[in-house]
Structure formats: structure tokens, C-alpha cells
Amino acid sequence: MGNTVLSVTNVNKSFGGLRALSSIDLQIEEGKTHAIIGPNGAGKSTLLNVCVGKIEPDTGSVVFDGKNLTGKKPHEINQAGVARVFQTPEIFPELSLLQNVMVSAFAKRDGSFRLNAIRSLLSEKALHDEAEHMLEDVGLKDLIHHESGSLSRGDKRRLELAMCLIQHPRLLLLDEPTAGMSRHDTNGTIDLLKRIKERGMTKVIIEHDMHVVFSLADRISVLAQGAIIASGTPDEIRGNPKVQEAYLGGAH
């Protein structure tokens, strides 16, 4: 087992009488891709929200790179080196793709999104060039000056990925990164995420598409009714009867 970069220990979370997370223990190894799968309502997005500070757990801790992030604000966790691609893309629709990526870089540096920084940002050639490179990396360079709100759903997801990558995170959390994409775009995203892995970036992915999961994951954890029912390599998860019954429906 390699170096653990993210450690989730005994995390519990309830909303009223609903137990969303139950005694979650999760270790994420540095440089690896760890997928979290499970049926709708299993608690996957709630777990990511705990990790990025949008939800505070009732009990337990989240430790990243030796630092306890429990109770920290989202921007503090982001500045510590954790970035997230949301299930619904979060972009500035009135800005161009280039401006979105540059604002994201500024947010990591400054700790906040300030739209009035656009004018000064655009004068920073190094940042401008890096933003162009990130957009080229995700296949959007030809659209850099287009208004972001006009993008397709799949392209908005790729834009948000570029916005995360320019922050150079050590840990990237992706919530349904290929949802709404065609198979062609999905395969392109798989190839992109493989290239990111080659750079040593650690990733946690929530994904319903098993083609995506088994193409990318080094390790998989399965959530059902707020609890982890299995963790292992892709081959171990494929052959786990409990997982097949709870989620995969017996399909390999």
C-alpha cells in the first residue's frame, strides 16, 4: 500500500431521521484513481460534500496530506490542494471559456471568486497562456472566446475540469464527470483522465457508467444505504456477490 493522501475515518452524517453516511472509513492512496459506486441515494455525493467542506459530519474526521480538514470551509480545503468537479457543472455562463479558467486560477491564489479581477487577469500573459493550454488539453481550445453558457452539457463538464486542473490540485474529486456526454465524448474524457493520472494526480471518482469506472479505477469502494459494503480492486469488485446483488445486478 502506498502513501495515503486522504483518510476518512468513522464519518457519520444524518439529515433528520435519515442516516446518509454510516461509519465511513476510506483510505485514498496517492497517485491512484479510487472510484466510489453505488445505487442512487447511497450517499456518494454526500461523502464528497463532507470531503470538500460543504457538509460537516456529525462525527468522524477527514484528513488530507496529514492535515485535519474537518470543519474547514470549502475555500480553505481548495487552497490546501483539493479540487472538485461537480455533478452539475459550476461555471460563469456569461464569461468566455478562457475567462472562466483564469478566474478559477485566481480563486486558488486569492481564496475567492472575484469577477472584477478579469481585467487584470487578462493582462497576465503567463496565466493567459496556461489557461489556453488547459482548454486545449480538454479539447476546447477552438471555443476559448465563446460564451460559456452556450456550451453543450458535455463541454461544460470539460470546461469545469479545465478550471480545476489550472489550480494544480493534489487531489481531484469528480462527481459524475461523464454524465450527459456522448460515448465519443466519454471516451475522450477517459483518455484525458488517464493522462492526468500519468502526471501523478490522485483522483476520487463517483460514476454510474461502469465502462468509465473499470477503465480508470485502481480501487473501487461500493456504497449502499450510506455504508461501504465492499472495497477492492476492479477484479475483486466484479466478482463480489454482495456488490452484484446491491448494485451491478449480477452483470460483469
- Whole-number Cα distances in Å, 22 to 25, 35, 74: 9, 18, 22
Q: Where does 65-193 show beta strands of DSSP type E?
A: 67-68, 82-85, 171-175
Give the pLDDT mean for 161-173.
91
> What is the per-residue pLDDT for 251?
44
- Chain segment 6-35, per-residue pLDDT in tens: 999 999 999 988 999 999 999 999 999 999
Domains of the chain: 1-72+201-252 (3.40.50.300)
Lowest-confidence pick of 99-103, 155-159, 243-247 = 243-247
Residue 244: pLDDT over 90: no
Residue 157: pLDDT over 80: yes
Give the pLDDT mean for 188-202.
85
Q: Cβ distance 162 to 83 under 8 Å? A: no
* Residues 130, 135: Cα–Cα separation, whole Å: 9
Residue 225: pLDDT over 50: yes
**Taking all residues of the chain, what is their mean pLDDT, rounded to a whole number?**
87
Give the pLDDT mean for 35-43.
91
User: In the structure, what pLDDT confidence band is assigned to residue 238 with cuts at 50, 70 and 90?
Assistant: confident
Q: Which amino acid is it at 139?
A: G
User: In the structure, what pLDDT confidence band is assigned to residue 118 with cuts at 50, 70 and 90?
Assistant: low
Hey, is 15 helix, strand or coil? Answer: strand
Q: What is the 3-state secondary structure (H, E, C) of 23-49?
A: EEEEEEECCCEEEEECCCCCCHHHHHH
- 228, containing H or E segment: strand 227-232
**Phi, psi (rounded to 5 degrees) for 35:** -95, 140
> What is the per-residue pLDDT for 117?
53
Residue 122: pLDDT over 60: no
Classify residue 234 by burial, with Cβ atoms within 10 Å: 0-12, 13-18, 19+: middle
> What is the per-residue pLDDT for 250?
47
Give the pLDDT mean for 104-126.
61
